[in-house]
Amino acid sequence: MESIQSLLQQAHALWRQGNEQGMIEYLEKAIHLCRLEHDDKKLIEILNEYSGSLRNVGRYDEAIAAINESLQIFEKNKTYSPQTYATILINLGNTFREKKSYFEAEMYLLKAKEIFQSMGDTSYAYIGLLNNLALLYQDTNNYDAAHKLQLEAVHLLESTEYQVPLAISYNNLYEISKHIKEPSELSPEIYLDKAAYILQREVGTSHPMYAAILNNRADYEINQHHYDEALQLYREALPIVKHNYGIESQAYKSVQQNLEYVKDLIETLQQSSKPFRKTGLELGRELSHYVAQDVELNLPDISPYICLALVGTGSECLGYDDAVSEDHDFTKRCQLFLPDDIYKSYKDKLISYFTNYSQGLVQLESISQFYKRYTLYPEGPQSPAEYRRIPQDLLCTATNGEVFLDNLGTFTNIRQRLLTYYPEDIRLRKIAYELNQLAQSGQYNLPRMLQRGDTVAAQLALSQFVNHYMLAVHLLNKSYAPFYKWIYRHTCNLPILGNTVKYGIPDVLNSSLNDTKHHIDHLCNALIQELQSHALSNSSIDFLTYQAKEVMQRIQDQALRTEDSWVE
């Protein structure tokens, strides 16, 4: 059986990683051992630590029950110090504060403060009390009282070894300084700089407290109208919060919401500063409106069968067209698709009608011709073997753009079936292939080419790594990757690893070849985390060929599962 001390060591190791949820199990085991050994003094200590972890994950009533148990033990044994009693009251008050029961919170915290002051105690426990009271008054908009208490806490902490609590106090001072009437001793961003410096040194940049500093610094940059800086800070904070609290946590949702707000704000400001131009899809939508009316009035026999869309090749079908796109093959256009029999019967009449059409270019085609051109099959691929024959970029071309009108529904039915993505076994098989290519190009060949001094081969290996990384990200998102010149832009907009690609790929490409390793490691580790979060791997081995084997094991079809995953 594990000892109380070893259980606490494991719990504290998880705390240093910011994993409050994980440490609860070890504290519960330690509490059980204390009860068995009738170690009431240790039990009081662990119950209070346990209550803090419960509080931090939102289990307030359980936290209060744990503290009340420690109070009952304390009251039975009068040999315990007043400081112990005050510490229990602090935990109880802070839990009520988190629960937003502010009256009870203030009552317990002030009672603890009286105990400390009666003994002239300015120890670390007293400093913690000052922080908690300051947070309480901050929550209740009594900012002047909060500021006074927080400054006292900082003054006491600066000469101690408790650097992490000092960083937290600096962060709290930033929050308070935004609201007080009198100016602070330091400008608000200085508090954040001090806090960030301490946390980088003491707990590293993967700790949730560091993410809180990034979040507040982003808030400051927004107030200064530095929106690009704020967006980058939110992007740094988001994966830290995700790793520590998960995507369902309020902390993650809050940072994600802030990030989207700033991103939308930047895009709005950028658009407002640009001359207005209609996109190809907007022009196609307008044209299709006129075509639909014309067909209904002048060609009523085919009206029930028409599908009007703008899909296929061209940057406008991806929504990526801009002023540069207009230098060739760009015009107001849409496509009119018909079933084979109707197309054959009316082809000549339609060509005559829409030649030199005053509203724009109308491109005529049968539904089967379109899908056969891009997918090899008149109704698109249907079996796993058929899906394997078609490159991602062609499936993207077949399903991009927009369908404006589909009276018959045939074109849309095929399109929607394709958009449900590859059969799952095929998707897993393709992911495994991409993982092997990433391992070979970025993790194996690139450093070997650098050892040989062959920078041309190293550049080629890096290019292969970047391309296969973005293909793998598309597979994780169940989104077809477009033609290579648009793949980076397309990947950046994907929900899974899109942000990682947006910033990680330029980082690795803009670095000198000899400095690419840590960027590649970062990208690979992010990919492994996603594989694990989607139950595609249980392995923490960072060489991606092992991850490929993990993914292959999840393929249901035995023949496909035993194939060589190095061959596409």
Domain locations in the chain? Answer: 280-419, 424-561
Cα–Cα distance measured from residue 134 to residue 93, given in angstroms and rounded to the nearest whole number: 12
Residue 267: predicted pLDDT: 83
Give all strands (DSSP E) within 126-205, no chain letters: none
Counting beta carbons within 10 angstroms of the beta carbon of residue 102, is it exposed (0 to 12), middle (13 to 18) or buried (19 or more)?
A: middle
pLDDT at 245: 80
Q: Are 547 and 539 in contact (CB under 8 A)?
A: yes
Residue 255 and residue 272: Cα distance in Å, rounded? 26
The predicted pLDDT at position 177 comes to 81
Q: Which residues, including other chains, have CB under 8 Å from residue 194's CB and lie 6 or more apart?
A: 167, 170
Which candidate, 154, 151, 221, places its Cα nearest to that of 182? 151
**What is the predicted pLDDT for the residue at 389?**
92
In the 8-state DSSP scheme, what is residue 332?
Answer: S
SS3 220: helix
Which DSSP letter does residue 381 get? -
Please tell me the predicted confidence (pLDDT) of residue 182: 63
pLDDT at 455: 94
Which residues face 362 on adjacent strands?
A: 334
Cα–Cα distance measured from residue 170 to residue 526, given in angstroms and rounded to the nearest whole number: 31
pLDDT of residue 343: 95
The pLDDT value given to residue 459: 95
pLDDT for the residue 399: 96
Per residue of the chain (568 residues), what is the pLDDT tens digit? 578 778 877 877 877 776 777 788 888 888 878 888 877 777 777 787 787 777 777 788 888 888 888 878 777 776 677 887 888 888 888 888 888 888 888 998 999 899 888 988 888 888 888 888 988 888 888 888 888 888 888 888 888 888 888 888 888 888 888 777 665 556 778 888 888 888 888 888 888 888 889 988 888 888 888 888 889 999 989 888 888 888 877 788 888 888 999 888 888 887 776 666 788 899 999 999 999 999 999 999 999 999 999 999 988 889 887 777 665 667 889 999 999 999 999 999 999 999 988 889 999 999 999 999 999 999 999 999 999 999 999 999 999 999 999 999 999 999 999 999 999 999 999 999 999 999 999 999 999 999 999 999 999 999 999 999 999 999 999 999 999 999 999 999 898 999 889 888 998 998 889 989 988 998 999 999 999 999 999 988 999 999 999 999 999 999 999 999 898 8
- Amino acid symbol at 350: L
DSSP 538: -
